[in-house]
Structure 1
């Protein structure tokens, strides 16, 4: 089927006029609005209010309900989110009839959630029922509300412009049975005619697997990916508020960074490991296996083709495509003289403890008697990890350091002298290098630096490895 599946992020959704004008209507005649599916996230900030703030960890409805001993705290938080949703409805629809429809839909679901949480609290007052066993279900119920609200609003909003938009509600609202994800999507697809309808799909899908328990806040990318795979899309598209660029424009400068025109799924895996939201690796896996191209576009530059990501792409000549990184990592260093000849045993124990503490491993290095793992997570969990390792290995010295990781990434970086140039650029910028990792596959080169030098490292590597290359190519073409 010649159609696209397109995901719209929360920041872009908050700019709903741009979604309508730049994504749906842009240079299209009425008959050309279709053969697409839009998978939408909640409006910016709504999921943070329903769950917890992704950036600061500030509690939302979920966290407040889980911790509170009475109902007043979580009910007030739910009221705050409801008021924010009502304000979005007012801004989108003003005094039009669609506002009443949007408000009715939103209030009905909020009331249902409120009743559910009240009843659950009452049931758990009996000793046979434990609230902790229901928390994951509550988390999914609350997350679904954000996407249901935004998808329903977008349907109403697009209909005002003559688009035959229809709601594909995958949230499982008031359903009795949880089916496998693929079955949920296949049944939903049967109900729509892509030649004359534009389905607006909730990013959350209620299913037997439990998307949030497996992917947490990355669930909408899995819905998006599986829809593309199961429907045989010709292309999957992600609309963001920025280009996938050669570096963070806030660090390297908006006039210095370069939108990446082409790259491959191998590069997106490296970016995901760095915490960059190109696409979740498990979501990319399905697209890669079905050879479905992924395009990342800027919502606010509709005429720009964006970045096309395919399975087999390699840059025409070896080059660094991007300099990216991850701040606030902990280097956990385990030294033990008894490790010599038994590194694999120590590594297995180290990994077991990481999994138990639910810390994310970003990179690691090793020698005869030392293992260093670079992990992301809060300081409390890292302290527990250190104590656990010290308990397992009585004679070991375990130390931690706060560091950042800066990476040069590209689909083909087999460039002679690249390491020397990179270290030279960092040295010239007075950035001390704590560790270096270079793999045989030539898709990434990592530099561990003290956290205070992160920005200098990104800028100096981008200037040397990306800007210099771009200027050389421009001169050759001229």
Structure 2
């Protein structure tokens, strides 16, 4: 025999029912000598409507009648669409009678104002009875003879309405007697529905049609069980959460049970047990793509070399914690806890207990949390009163994420990889459970982190193609624009050669902000941004935090102080920060240290290579020296590409103001050139280097020997240029004094002995700074290992293109 089960979506309408008929015909051809049993669910959505109708009736709301009319009309329309007019009469009459029964029952519920569990089972049973009868009639109309069998005559249960337990001994006997005696080749059976020993209608729980099919398949020792649904098999993860989830072609019974218990909706959890004991293979197939392979569930499967078979989750979990010093070394606490929950029919989903015996935690359905607290606190009332045990503590808003796979057994490192992956993305684990079978590793996490956690785990365990990086970019001006162009240019290279899929999922400038979970098209980012919503920094940050995307990186390509002040909010959410903006690292030492500490605490990166030397590897080199145990004794540097450009190009033939304006026009200066000309920007840079070298330094600790007249530094930027023209004599004298002695002007920063200073110096041809041209920077590190001949980092230290490339490099560091 073979058993086929069709879910609600497979019989949702006449079109889908025709697909079912076609699949049944093919099954009959495939096994012509065997009997075929077809189990049918209610039309998609009907069970929910019937439950809603019963609830409305119990509440005295007469709108239940309208819902029942829609249910009736839907089934009548299906009959008319599927059955020839000459054969419709008897089927329409049968459907009408059943719908009248539903209405009569709901009328009684309305009058009584009460909906018992037994009555609820009676109401919802009509969904499967109606759909299966229509399918049977459709097949008969096609000339495919069949017998419709009421499953209440085949499956016996207890009277636990809503989720009845099967009496397998009696059920197996009834099924065997009926199907062995029947002469027909094809049987149509309603799923979900059964009866107790008094003949009262019971149900097998939501999703119970799968169970019905498995019960019958096990009872008759079927050759196979096929479960036809709207997906092409069980998947490595929920495709609604993980777009890259893949079909599992083969899976073991045990793995299927684990995945179904932990939230995989393709198959109802109890389904596996009746067929596993008989070693009956189970196929998960797609009604809408019957040619797809699907998933084959059978015994010991080692056809998939991956240690992990799937990732699943359960939402709406509450964690119950029973704690107290009075529990230590005292037998029976666990037994009493579980008895108190069992007596109130509260199912325990997860258990964890520390070896200290000081506490025990269990995970249950969140809806039962208050009921559980009442039961447990009552059981331990004496211990609570005497202070030996604390009142039961409840945590809600949680979920369970589970890794499942037979091949996990005896493979070290899987747990470490799991917790390392989610930990790096800021997902806090509240409780952990792993059975001795090593088939399942479960972690309790915040429900808000489920999507991110599952995607991170799927990426680490299943996706060998690429790692997805989600960027939020603030600042689309000169440097920001160049960065976006570079990202666009390198997207394909990064994916092919570095296995990184870098997406811009959020973007903002001073006026607009835009988000796209699918990634902003970098060919048209200006149009997307222009059509975005008004920029609000608070909303921008909150949206980044609430999206909670894996591998998130915030990229600040502004010079905005307010933007720098939000880094802590992002790092505390395990969102890495790449900063071109110098404000944060040159702000008060306490804030700088706070950001560094947050990055360490929350497994995020705080990278700011471009704060000093644009694209030059200055900070990276310094960090490498420090990490390898070297000690920095002195730093000397020319750190302003702007000032170096200005003094390399100023010779008195053009005004100093004109040369500065050229530097600004070519993109070498800060948005406000006075930050460069005053020495403030250089002060920031030497302070950042000193801090990275381990020195606690603030701006007021740095001596600035400025060359700029005070009158130039007040007013607007326009005023600044006008005043420099007035002060041309001052600048020419500075230049001539150096030129007369054969020296060049360089604005030099120095850090030594815990002190730092910046200022204009005359350097001769013997100096490392003399042959420094254009906008180049140079940094000299004197250390214990480089005491006399310094380690030198030299190159272009300004310009949008090189600065953008430095930011890009930091993004790649954060990605890895």
Q: TM-score range by the shorter chain?
A: 0.7 to 0.9
Once residues 318 and 448 of structure 2 are traced to their aligned partners in structure 1, the CA distance between those partners, rounded to angstroms, is 13
The aligned counterpart of 2:17 is: 16
Number of the residue aligned with 1:230: 219
Match of 2:195, SS state, is coil
Alignment correspondent of 1:84: 74
Q: What CA distance in whole angstroms lies between the structure 2 residues aligned with 1:419 and 1:78?
A: 51
CA distance in 2, matches of 1:457, 1:119: 48
1:60 is aligned to 2:53:
yes
Contact 2:125/2:201 (<8 A) preserved: no
Tell me if the contact between 2:53 and 2:106 (Cα under 8 Å) persists in the aligned partners: no
Looking at structure 1, the residues matched to 104 and 449 of structure 2 have their Cα atoms a distance apart, in angstroms, of 51
Q: The residue matched to 1:263 in structure 2 has which SS?
A: strand
Distance 1:30 1:214, change over 3 A: closer
Q: How far is the alpha carbon of 1:77 from its aligned partner?
A: 4.5
Distance 1:81 1:137 in 2: 21
- Report matched runs for 1:45-56 at 5 Å: 45-50=45-50, 52=51
* 1:205 aligned residue: 194
1:158 and 2:159 correspond = no
Question: Is 1:101 the equivalent of 2:90?
Answer: yes
Q: Mark the runs of 5 or more structure 2 residues left unpaired by the alignment.
A: 160-166, 468-816
Conserved 8 A contact 2:428-2:446: yes
2:318 is the counterpart of 1:330: yes
* Contact persistence 2:42–2:128 (CA under 8 A): yes
Shift of 1:118: 6.0
- Distance of aligned partners of 1:230 and 1:436 in 2 relative to their CA distance in 1, 3 Å threshold: closer
* Corresponding residue for residue 458 of structure 2: 462
Give the secondary structure class of the aligned counterpart of 1:249: coil
Between the aligned partners of 2:100 and 2:173, the Cα distance in structure 1 is 29
Q: Deviations over 1:101-133 (max 9, x none)?
A: 3321111122244456667999x89xxxxx78x
Distance across 1 between alignment mates of 2:131 and 2:101? 17
Instruction: Give, in whole Å, the separation in 2 of the partners of 1:210 and 1:445.
Output: 42
Residue ranges of structure 1 left out of the alignment (5+ in a row) = 53-58, 126-130, 472-478
Matched residue, 1:43: 43
CA distance in 2, matches of 1:47, 1:191: 33
Q: CA 1:154–1:446 in structure 2 vs 1: closer, same or farther (change >3 Å)?
A: same
* Corresponding residue for residue 230 of structure 2: 241
Instruction: Give the stretch that moved more between structures: 180-189 or 210-219.
Output: 210-219
Query: Across the two proteins, how many residue pairs are aligned to each other?
Result: 438
Contact 1:181–1:207 (CA<8 Å) still a contact in 2?
no
1:128-164 per-residue CA deviation (whole Å, 9 max, x = no partner) reads xxx78xx344333323311121111112222333322
2:348 aligns with 361
RMSD: 3.3
Q: Which has the larger radius of gyration?
A: 2
Measure how far apart 1:172 and its partner are. Answer: 5.4
The corresponding residue for 1:400 is 394
Q: Distance in 2 between matches of 1:209 and 1:222?
A: 22
**CA distance in 1 between partners of 2:106 and 2:182 (Å):** 33
Q: 5 Å matches for 1:193-342?
A: 193-194=183-184, 197-203=185-191, 204-208=193-197, 215-242=204-231, 243-253=233-243, 256-315=244-303, 317=305, 319-342=307-330
Aligned counterparts of 1:18 and 1:209: Cα–Cα separation in 2:
37
Deviation at 1:84, TM superposition (A): 3.2
Q: Check conservation: 2:352, 2:432, Cα contact below 8 A.
A: no
State whether residues 42 and 127 of structure 2, in contact with CA within 8 Å, keep that contact through their aligned partners in structure 1. Answer: yes
89 and 285 in structure 1: CA distance in 2 versus 1, 3 angstrom threshold: same
Q: 1:363 to 1:272 in 2, by over 3 A?
A: same
Q: Identify if the C-alpha distance between structure 1 residues 97 and 430 changes in structure 2 by more than 3 Å, giving closer, same or farther.
A: farther
Q: Say if 2:171 and 2:219, in contact at 8 Å, map to a contact too.
A: no
Q: Does the aligned pair in 2 maintain the 1:325–1:407 contact within 8 Å?
A: yes
Residues 30 and 215 of structure 1, relative CA distance in 2, 3 Å threshold: closer
**Do the aligned residues in 2 keep the contact of 1:323 with 1:408 (CA within 8 Å)?**
yes
Counterparts of 1:463 and 1:212, CA distance in 2:
46
Q: Look up the SS of the partner of 1:182 in the other structure.
A: helix
SS at match of 2:228: strand
Q: Is the 8 A contact 1:168 1:188 kept in 2?
A: no
Quote how far apart the aligned CAs of 1:189 are. 1.5
Deviation at 1:267, TM superposition (A): 1.3
Shift of 1:462: 0.6
